[in-house]
Amino acid sequence: MNQETPPNRYAKWKQRELLLLLLYAIAFYAYTIWKSLRLSHDHYFKLYGLAPGLLIPNRRNDVSDAQWRNFRGNLPILSFVFAIFTVIANGFRSFFHFKAKGMAFLWLSLSLLYLTYLHGACVIYILSIATANFLLVKVFGRTNYFPFMLWMFNIFFLLCNRIYEGYSFSIFGRQFEFLDNFRGTFRWHICFNFVVLRMISFGYDYHWGQLDSHFDGEKHLTRCSLCKLGKTCYVLRQERGLSSDSCSFSLYLCYLVYAPLYLAGPIISFNAFASQLDMPQNTHSVKDVARYGLRWLFSFLLMELMTQFFYYNAFVVSGLWRELSPVEIFIVGYG
């Protein structure tokens, strides 16, 4: 009688284990979806923050989350503004042959207009903290203890922004109290989390630029498939350091508040951003960008659909989770 070798027994056990995991996942998510639908249907009339849906008119939509509600409500104007920004930027680049410095001033002007619409007078806070960070980088960027100072500075303001909920102008004097009536449509200290990451990126790129670079550009060009085709890959843009003169205040501010990436990212390094202002990316074709746009649209519609069937955040905002069983609380928290 043939006996199975240990490797064969191990392979069969792994197959059984995978099958069990798949069955468990199917059962878990089937139960979670069914229970979530049941909870939303049974309690929707007691929940706060529900509004008419876009995809299914006769179903309510969970817009109790302030960030999602603001983004969803302002999406038409945001799309229009971004389209205008793109047309203006490409027009100036084509007709006036703007390079990095010119594009930085152009994008900075457009982005500050956009930030004023979003945050109103609170733009003052953003510019003040950003200016202090720039001075910190320029003064201490060449020292060995700079990374510690950079992190402490940014973590300090990150915590203060959250603790004081974006600061009231009245704490600086009653003569500034009227500015609290002009705080815009979006809480600035929520968006500032991304700005903090960019400030840290700028600091590190400047700091590393003052040190001896270990990046071998020639070796990279011989190994990178994109660079061999005459294109400039992201790694080369990121690792190829900029001169100190290129790290200007206008370019730095443009990087922090660049409108298309301001709200939701993605985060790119300062070096990569600055190089793309001077030489736009050529690694992604129009087809690639269109495919990415369709994927974004699908994600948005999926989010819209889910918030019309699952009212997880509304349970939390309404405090109704206190009336639920432990299993139901777990499902709401998991969702």
* pLDDT on residue 329: 87
Give 218's pLDDT tier (boundaries 50, 70, 90).
low
* pLDDT on residue 298: 93
Give the burial string for 168-180 (b: 16+ CB within 10 Å, else e): ebeeeeeeeeebe
Determine the length of the chain: 335
Rounded CA gap, 173 and 179, in Å? 11
Look at residue 157 and tell me whether its pLDDT is greater than 90: yes
Lowest-pLDDT range of 11-15, 94-98, 206-210: 11-15
pTM of the model: 0.72
- Provide mean pLDDT across the span 60-80: 83
Handedness of CA 175, 187, 109, 103 (dihedral sign): positive
Q: pLDDT of 121-138, one tens digit each? A: 999 999 999 999 999 999
Phi, psi of 131 (to 5 degrees): -65, -40
Closest among 198, 200, 208 to 142, alpha carbons compared: 208
